[in-house]
Structure 1
């Protein structure tokens, strides 16, 4: 379990100085302990970082009616945002102190619709951690049923801070 707290104002977000003063793994673990605030998007879209170790990050979330498309099924953007978060954070766990990253591109494949109100786990795992890029893959699976709901891959750009 985590002590995650969600940023409610811009002032709640970690500063660039905070980010650059620790490795990406240290940053993620500080966020899980509640020492740094998580980004507000995780509160808006009802998902949370759950665990972080080098090369692997897991999130859990539950889609709600507010995230449906006109057909009444879960909007693909929810899958994409959750996968982007877990995959990019997996890259983050390999980023050295004094550097930061951003998503360069990502792709998702939705295999089935997640039922509203069903808890899922999204796990991102590192595939490549280099000096200037990181590549990871992700999966969304149902917590209760273990079924695969979506997969993804990402490439992140790693940059040195100033």
Structure 2
């Protein structure tokens, strides 16, 4: 009954080194196009960046039993990771060259369970408000029929990329 899962990832220093060299939107589009590596956590979970526009991103995941908690549904940490990624990358997509962000907080509301039978879920992130030092974003986790499964808000700190 033992199950295994194997996956590969690329050196995260490659994409980290590209942060701030162009706009945040350009950075994310390079990841989407496969010219920069995706985050190792995306490989770990099987999460994919599907869409990137200014102030808006979409991540997807096909839930499987490898995402389950002990009670037979997708663990809330998977929801939170997807929502944090979507909200944060929505903010990233609005940043000019030379700027970066980090999440200050994440508030998640779990509304419905997700299982392997749910089908592909999407975390849709969008910027609500952005200033010089902070940005507020929200993300929604949706099932294939656009039913809301979870909702999150995130505050992000904006800062210049440190010189190397």
Q: What does residue 13 of structure 1 align with?
A: 14
Return the alpha-carbon distance in structure 1 between the equivalents of residues 15 and 47 of structure 2.
19
Give the TM-score taking structure 2 as reference length.
Answer: 0.88
Structure 2: runs of 5+ lacking an equivalent: 1-6
Return the alpha-carbon distance in structure 1 between the equivalents of residues 127 and 12 of structure 2.
31
C-alpha deviation, 1:12, in angstroms: 6.3
Provide the aligned C-alpha RMSD in A. 1.6
**Superposed structure 1 runs of 4+ greater than 3 Å apart:** none
**Residue 128 and residue 7 in structure 1: after superposition, are their counterparts in 2 closer, same or farther (change >3 A)?**
farther
**Residue 95 and residue 152 in structure 1: after superposition, are their counterparts in 2 closer, same or farther (change >3 A)?**
same
Return the alpha-carbon distance in structure 1 between the equivalents of residues 14 and 80 of structure 2.
23
Secondary structure, counterpart of 1:102 in structure 2? strand
C-alpha deviation, 1:10, in angstroms: 2.6
Q: What does residue 110 of structure 2 align with?
A: 110
**Residue 7 and residue 25 in structure 1: after superposition, are their counterparts in 2 closer, same or farther (change >3 A)?**
farther
Name the count of aligned residue pairs. 155
Q: What does residue 139 of structure 1 align with?
A: 140
Structure 1: runs of 5+ lacking an equivalent: 1-5
Task: Give deviations 1:109-159, integer Å, cap 9, x for gaps.
Answer: 11100121510111001001111111101111112x221111100011111
Secondary structure, counterpart of 2:87 in structure 1? helix
Q: What does residue 155 of structure 2 align with?
A: 155
Return the alpha-carbon distance in structure 1 between the equivalents of residues 82 and 148 of structure 2.
14
Task: Give deviations 1:88-128, integer Å, cap 9, x for gaps.
Answer: 00000111101111111001111100121510111001001
In the alignment, does 2:62 pair up with 1:48? no
